[in-house]
């Protein structure tokens, strides 16, 4: 049995549903229940109550128009595996009793497959394409709670916050980009509560594992196609170079030892690549050729922490600049402080969030940072790459302890830096 299942084999579903209904009414009515809700459910109910949601009514649904749903489908990597997910679910004998729903990372329903009778029941809940199915919109539900908890979730009957969802069960699991760990969306199987089987959670887990494996294979196939299509051109060139896809993943390298990814190329901006220096991306039919623009291969980056965080990169030519989110500036500051030894995912999580439990979130943040900066930030462990010198621009005082960015940060590691360097 999966460790996130809401029921055990042999559970009397009707009795359990009645017990949960009494617990739901007691907890949300402010009285002591005879049976405590599961910790995960209690946390979610508390969040829904703090948001002011109504457990007795149907909270606001405002689905996106279908043209926006179609745009999100086109932009989602999950479009490559939706057929595989559908095939896994439809292979189950009683698949006609439930829906498979796939959302994006925002919790917006992009795909919905299942019998027309179950779809009609779901429509009465606003559980349709384009709906935002997060806790903040519809209270405790497997999709929204899986997003909030960053973990698989199964809910049965009155474990849902809204009373009109009590006739349902739902089982949801996050699906991640296998290259980066970044959240892509949620896979959910939902159906009438009295049809819940303990194997449903295993079905969802199997679908997610298959989809992530297919995504990795799709990535590898894309790099192989790029290598084949560029082979005649590469045979005529000499000197250090990289062949990368649109997202900066390396399909081929020559004359340079580089990890699997650089910053995503853009036609209007040079790239700083350790070992190559400043490079001018040259567009190809299916990717980019990256070659150095000069002889200087060292890279100097200056992190500006006055006003909007910004990184200025110099590599023997005119510098390029990019603005940073607060979180990405904090990561660079912490990596600067860590020096050559760098930080493990758990160490960076503790410095950013105060504990080592935010591993998935930490990996996703670094992945987004590397999408912008690429090989300037190395992995395993996280650190500034060899050949990159990071300096800090802190304002008139030049002191970490007097820099407003550090003192206003919510990250424990950044605040510790400010305290360590504070005057006196």
Model confidence over 358-403: pLDDT tens digits? 888 898 899 888 877 766 788 889 998 777 889 998 877 778 878 8
Give 70-112 pLDDT, tens digit per residue.
999 999 999 999 999 988 887 775 667 889 999 999 999 999 9
Mean per-residue pLDDT, 180-192: 93
Domain chopping of the chain, boundaries: 13-217, 299-420
Q: Which residue has the higher pLDDT, 9 or 110?
A: 110
Whether this prediction's pTM lies above 0.85 is answered by no
Q: Whole-angstrom Cα distance, residue 210 to residue 232?
A: 35
Residue 48 has pLDDT above 50, yes or no: yes
Q: Which residue has the higher pLDDT, 424 or 228?
A: 228
For 173, 254, 345, 364, the CA distances from 361, given in Å and listed in that order, are: 15, 34, 10, 5
Q: What is the pLDDT of residue 280?
A: 73
Q: What is the pLDDT of residue 236?
A: 87
Give 294-337 pLDDT, tens digit per residue.
645 567 889 999 889 999 887 555 567 889 999 999 999 999 99
Percent helix, strand, coil in the chain, to 5, is 40, 20, 35
Q: What is the pLDDT of residue 1?
A: 41
Q: What is the pLDDT of residue 315?
A: 58
Which segments of 22-142 are extended strands (E)?
A: 99-104, 109-114
The model's confidence at residue 4, banded by pLDDT at 50, 70 and 90, is confident
Give 339-361 pLDDT, tens digit per residue.
989 999 999 999 999 998 888 88
The CATH number of 13-217 is 3.30.450.40
Mean per-residue pLDDT, 24-30: 92
Q: Which residue has the higher pLDDT, 278 or 251?
A: 251
The CATH number of 299-420 is 1.10.10
Q: Contact at 8 Å (CB) between 166 and 140?
A: no
Scored b (16 or more CB within 10 A) or e, 374-396 reads bbbbbbeebbbbebbebebebee
Helix (H, G, I), strand (E, B) or coil at 322: strand
- Beta-strand pair 388-393/299-304: parallel
Top mean pLDDT of 58-72, 221-235, 375-389 is at 221-235
Q: What is the pLDDT of residue 88?
A: 86
Handedness of CA 16, 48, 125, 91 (dihedral sign): negative
Handedness of CA 181, 183, 189, 193 (dihedral sign): positive
Please compute, for residue 99, the number of CA atoms within 13 A of its CA located in the half-sphere on the CB side: 26
- Report percent pLDDT > 70 for the chain: 94
How open is the CA angle 282-287-290, to the nearest 5 degrees? 40
Closest by CA position to 34, among listed 25, 46, 47: 25
Closest by CA position to 4, among listed 155, 223, 228, 212: 155
Domains 13-217 and 299-420 share a fold: no
Hey, which residues does 253 pair with through a beta bridge?
A: 242
């Amino acid at each position: 049995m999966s460790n996130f299942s809401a029921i055990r084999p042999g559970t009397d579903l009707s009795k359990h549903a009645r017990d949960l209904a009494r617990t739901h009414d007691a907890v949300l009515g402010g009285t002591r229940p005879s049976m405590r809700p599961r910790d995960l459910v209690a946390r979610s109910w508390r969040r829904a109550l703090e948001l002011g949601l109504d457990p007795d009514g149907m909270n606001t649904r405002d689905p996106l128009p279908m043209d926006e749903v179609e745009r999100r489908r086109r932009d989602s990597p999950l479009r490559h595996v939706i057929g595989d997910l559908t095939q896994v679910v439809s292979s189950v004998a009683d698949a006609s009793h439930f829906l498979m729903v796939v959302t994006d990372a925002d919790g917006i329903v992009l795909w919905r497959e299942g019998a027309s009778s179950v779809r009609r029941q779901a429509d009465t809940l606003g559980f349709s394409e384009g709906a935002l199915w997060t806790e903040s919109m519809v209270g405790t539900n497997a999709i929204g709670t899986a997003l909030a908890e960053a973990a698989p979730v199964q809910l049965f009957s009155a474990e849902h916050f809204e009373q009109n969802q009590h006739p349902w069960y739902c089982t949801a699991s996050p699906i991640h980009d296998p290259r980066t760990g970044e959240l892509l969306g949620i896979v959910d199987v939902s159906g009438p509560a009295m049809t819940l089987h303990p194997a449903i959670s295993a079905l969802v887990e199997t679908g997610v594992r298959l989809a992530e494996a297919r995504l990795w294979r799709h990535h590898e196939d894309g790099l192989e196609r790029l290598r084949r299509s560029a082979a005649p051109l590469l045979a005529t060139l000499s000197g250090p170079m990289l062949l990368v896809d649109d997202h900066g993943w390396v399909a081929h390298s020559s004359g340079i030892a580089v990890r699997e990814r650089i910053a995503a190329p853009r036609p209007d901006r040079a790239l700083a690549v350790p070992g190559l220096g400043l490079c001018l991306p040259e567009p190809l039919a299916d990717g980019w050729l990256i070659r150095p623009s000069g002889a200087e291969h060292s890279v100097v980056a200056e992190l500006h922490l006055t006003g909007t965080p910004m990184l200025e990169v110099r590599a023997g030519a005119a510098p390029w600049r990019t603005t940073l989110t607060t979180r990405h500036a904090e990561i660079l500051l912490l990596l600067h402080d860590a020096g050559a030894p760098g930080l493990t995912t758990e160490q960076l999580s503790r410095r950013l969030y105060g504990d080592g439990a935010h591993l998935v979130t930490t990996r996703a943040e670094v992945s987004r940072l590397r999408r912008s900066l690429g090989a300037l930030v190395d992995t395993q462990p996280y650190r500034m790459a060899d050949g990159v010198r990071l300096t800090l621009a802190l304002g008139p005082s030049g002191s970490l302890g007097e820099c407003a960015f550090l003192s206003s940060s919510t990250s424990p590691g950044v605040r510790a830096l400010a305290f360590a360097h504070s005057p006196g």
